[in-house]
């Protein structure tokens, strides 16, 4: 074996020895690409003075489609004057149903009877097709969804304004379905 070959063999051996486990090599280029410091959104972020990993929005910013709601929680009378700004089209009702089922069904149940799957672990809510709620204006209900009431939490940060109005249109359908008029019943029987 001449010198050339022995150098080649030494070279190959050196190369093989250097191919160790990436995480244990001395020099790593951007190691956190391999071993990322995964933090769950609601955990504290140790690298940022213990704040939550979920970052707060920069001050003064608002989410897309944000519409300020100027009424205070106690302004229920003023809220009753608000008019539902979207028409109850088929698409809007479908959207209302979708989001009622996501946000309200858990407690209020499929028809608004207050028999959602979480009851009785949670206080049973009143029926949504009572005379009282039927007589409430859309604005009054909008106000209640926005601020919550008693054991019902506020949905202000989860349900955007348009969706809130769509849910109310769908609630009106539930109310009708539970209180059909004589005429409606007669037309069903035909």
Half-sphere exposure of 123 (CA within 13 A, CB side): 7
Q: In 3D, which of 100, 92, 96, 82 has the Cα closest to residue 140?
A: 82
Indicate the DSSP class of residue 30: S
Alpha-carbon dihedral 144, 145, 147, 150, rounded to 10 degrees? 70
Sequence-separated (6 or more) residues with CB below 8 Å from residue 167? 96, 99, 100, 103, 104, 145, 159
Q: Which is nearer to ligand HEC, 55 or 132 (CB)?
A: 132
Three-state DSSP state, 52: strand
- The answer to whether 154 contacts ligand HEC (rule: CB under 6 A) is no
What does the per-residue mask of binding to ligand HEC show for 90-119, with x meaning CB under 6 A?
-------------xx-xxx-----------
Q: Which is nearer to ligand HEC, 39 or 173 (CB)?
A: 173
Among 151, 177, 179, 187, binds ligand HEC (CB under 6 A): 151
- The answer to whether 28 contacts ligand HEC (rule: CB under 6 A) is no
Q: Which ranges of 25-112 would DSSP assign to H, the alpha helix?
A: 76-80, 90-103, 105-108
Among 165, 167, 172, 174, binds ligand HEC (CB under 6 A): 167
- The answer to whether 123 contacts ligand HEC (rule: CB under 6 A) is yes
Among 79, 92, 95, 128, binds ligand HEC (CB under 6 A): 128
Residues that bind ligand HEC in the complex, under the rule CB under 6 A: 103-104, 106-108, 122-123, 125-126, 128, 130, 132-133, 141, 144-145, 149-152, 155, 159, 167, 171
């Amino acid at each position: 074996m001449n010198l050339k070959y022995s150098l080649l063999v030494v070279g190959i051996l050196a190369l093989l020895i250097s191919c160790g486990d990436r995480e244990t090599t001395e020099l790593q280029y951007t190691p956190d690409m391999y071993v990322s410091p995964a933090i769950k959104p609601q955990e504290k972020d140790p690298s940022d003075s213990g704040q939550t990993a979920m970052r707060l929005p920069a001050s003064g910013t608002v989410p897309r489609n944000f519409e300020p709601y100027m009424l205070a929680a106690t302004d229920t009378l003023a809220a009753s004057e608000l008019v539902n700004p979207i028409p109850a089209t088929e698409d809007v009702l479908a959207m209302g149903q979708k989001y009622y089922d996501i946000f309200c069904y858990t407690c209020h149940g499929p028809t608004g009877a207050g028999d959602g799957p979480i009851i009785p672990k949670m206080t049973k809510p009143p029926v949504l097709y009572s005379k009282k709620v039927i007589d409430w204006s859309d604005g009054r209900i909008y106000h209640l969804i926005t601020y919550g009431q008693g054991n019902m939490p506020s949905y202000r940060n989860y349900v955007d304004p348009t969706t809130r109005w769509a849910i109310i249109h769908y609630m009106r359908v539930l109310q009708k379905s539970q209180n059909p008029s004589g005429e409606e019943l007669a037309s069903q029987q035909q």
